[in-house]
Amino acid sequence: MNTSIPDNPPPSQDPSDAAPQKVGGALADGLTLVRVLLTPIVMAVIILGWPSSDMAVLASSLFVIAAVTDFFDDFFGGTDRAPYRQFGWFDDIADVLLILGTLLAMLFVMQRAGFLSPLFAVPAGVIILREFIVGLTRGYEFSREGWPETRLGTLKNGLTMLAVCILLAAPWLTSFYDSWRADDAAIVEVYNNTSPVIWWIGQTLLWIAACLSAYTGFQLVTGRAGKAANDA
Contacts of 231 (CB under 8 A, 6+ apart): none
Residue 213 and residue 127 in contact, taking contact as beta carbons nearer than 8 Å = yes
Give the residue from 43, 160, 62 showing the smallest Cα distance to 105: 43
CA distance 67 to 46: 16
Residue 208 and residue 159 in contact, taking contact as beta carbons nearer than 8 Å = yes
- Enter the pTM of the model: 0.79
Read out DSSP for the chain? ---PPPSSPPPPPPHHHHHHHHHHHHHHHHHHHHHHHHHHHHHHHHHHHTTSHHHHHHHHHHHHHHHHHHHHHHHHH-STT-TT-TTGGGHHHHHHHHHHHHHHHHHHHHHHHT---HHHHHHHHHHHHHHHHHHHHHHHHHHHH-----HHHHHHHHHHHHHHHHHHHHHHHHHHHHHHHTTSS-HHHHHHS---HHHHHHHHHHHHHHHHHHHHHHHHHHTHHHHHHHH-
User: Per-residue pLDDT for the chain (232 aa), expressed as one digit of tens each?
Assistant: 444 444 444 444 555 556 656 656 667 778 888 899 999 999 999 999 999 989 999 999 999 999 998 887 665 555 555 555 655 556 778 889 999 999 999 999 999 999 999 999 999 999 999 999 988 887 667 666 666 777 888 899 999 999 999 999 999 998 877 776 665 555 555 445 567 899 999 999 999 999 999 999 998 888 766 555 544 3
Count CB neighbours of 211 within 10 A.
Answer: 14
CA distance 3 to 194: 74
pLDDT value for 87: 55
Residue 40 and residue 47 in contact, taking contact as beta carbons nearer than 8 Å = no
Phi, psi of 86 (to 5 degrees): -75, -30
CA distance 50 to 59: 8
